[in-house]
Structure 1
Amino acid sequence: MLEVEAKFGVRDPEDVRVRLDRKGVQMARRQRERDVYYNAPHRDFGQTDEALRVRYDDTGFTVTYKGPRVRVGSAKAREEFNLKVASGETLEGILSRLGFRLAATVSKMREFYEMGDVTVTLDDVEGLGTFIEIEILTEDDKEDAADRIGVIAKELGVDGPPIYTSYLEMLLSRQQ
């Protein structure tokens, strides 16, 4: 499965909410997420543009692997695998004992808006600010997904250049 998404900084989240409401799109849910990122003992995910995280949220615990990013128009695409686990703490213990090292933790309050096969999130990320992500999961039609994301961004009044760095990368660059 490919995740195709575009992320933008948001100056006025209320304006985005109003525009979503005008389109008849209501918030599906709001939840706090804590993402704990790990680096591998045998390669540096920062160098290979991969990510391994354990997510803690209202629905439970999920381990996610993300492959290297590929630019698609003004969006990015990357392979993504998710697996629900019974205990995030147990998984983190296993990763630690296998030599994986804690890279960083990203915490955010996230609002989800569903528009058919498109997910729009408004993210208030601790230490970074507010962002909008527009995402489509697809098997192989990444160009069409990127075009649709661009149209939705314009409809929601999102301007400015897309942000290709992850929240993890932004947070790590601020800590240096």
Structure 2
Amino acid sequence: MGDGIREIEVKYRVTEPDTIVAALRQHGVELSAPVRQDDQAYAPAGWTYGQSKAGHSFARLRTQDGRHLFCVKRPLDNELACAEHETEVVERDQMHAAILAMGFQPTVRIIKTRRTGRLDGMSLCLDEVRHLGTFFEIEMLVGDGRLAVDVQRDLDRFAGSLGIGLQRCTETYDSLIRAALTVGV
């Protein structure tokens, strides 16, 4: 992603995935076949869960279909509105070591099965996330001066137009997994 491009998203907990698939189909969207994503999340040294993510850079190392992707996200307005830079890397283990050498600390592993589609500049993702359940994400790449909250309001309006009950969630998967795994500890 180039300079000035932000990934802005909204996320929803899903209790009935088939209703989303059917609603998207009515909008002409056929979701892809499921793919498995294995993500290791990293936080900057000194940052801990419970602190604001805004203004801090976070890394992710993803393996999908034998490819390894390194990504750095920097939340701007909120956790789901980020400047993002991503590139493919050859060796996951070497990239992991490099991320540690850059001062990041591993946080949680995020394993999910994702189905995707596109509509009117939106990326639509239906995710089955280990330890969490099913989620629906709507993402958009924005390069102009639009406020993230305005874009998120528009994405939320689209989600509402699907006519199904969705429970909005404002946290990232790593935060949700961390919370789920530490309950009762």
Q: Structure 2 length normalisation: TM-score?
A: 0.82
**Residue in 2 that maps onto 1:70:** 77
Deviation (angstroms), 1:94: 2.0
Distance 1:98 1:67, change over 3 A: closer
Is 1:44 aligned with 2:31? no
Q: Conserved in 1, the CA contact under 8 Å of 2:59 and 2:70? A: yes
In 2: Cα distance, 1:80 partner to 1:45 partner: 21
Structure 1 residue 149: deviation in Å?
A: 0.6
Q: Is the 8 A contact 1:16 1:157 kept in 2?
A: no
2:107 paired with 1:100: no
Partner of 2:165: 159
Aligned pair in 2 of structure 1 residues 96, 168: CA closer, same or farther (>3 Å)?
same
Relative distance call for 1:87 and 1:116 in structure 2 (3 A) is farther
Going from structure 1 to structure 2, the CA distance change for 1:65 and 1:158 (only over 3 Å counts) comes to farther
Amino acid at match of 1:174: A
- Equivalent residue number for residue 114 of structure 1: 118
How far off its partner does 1:147 sit? Answer: 3.5
Contact 1:29/1:113, CA 8 A, preserved across alignment: no
Q: Which of the residues 144, 150, 175 maps onto 1:169?
A: 175
Match of 1:130 among 134, 137, 158: 134
SS state at 1:157 partner: coil
Q: Percent identity?
A: 24
CA deviation digits over 1:37-87, x for unaligned, max 9? 12333x31643514211011126111111112424xxx9412111122122
SS in 1 for 2:75: coil
Distance 2:77 2:18 in 1: 31
Deviations 1:84-117 (A, max 9, x none): 2122221012223455332110100001011131
- Distance of 2:18 and 2:141 partners within structure 1: 26
- Is there any run of 5+ residues in structure 2 with no aligned partner, and where? none
C-alpha contact 2:127 2:136 (8 A) present in aligned 1: yes
Does the CA-based 8 Å contact 1:3-1:136 persist in structure 2?
A: yes
On the 8 A contact 2:113/2:128 being kept in 1, the answer is: yes
Tell me the distance in 1 between the aligned counterparts of 2:15 and 2:67. 31
How many residues are matched? 172
Post-superposition, which runs of at least 4 consecutive aligned residues in structure 1 deviate over 4 A?
none
Tell me the C-alpha RMSD between the 2 structures: 2.2
Shift of 1:122: 0.5
Q: Output the CA distance in 2 between the equivalents of 1:65 and 1:44.
A: 15
CA change 1:114–1:91 in 2 (3 A) is same
Unaligned runs of 5+ in 1: none
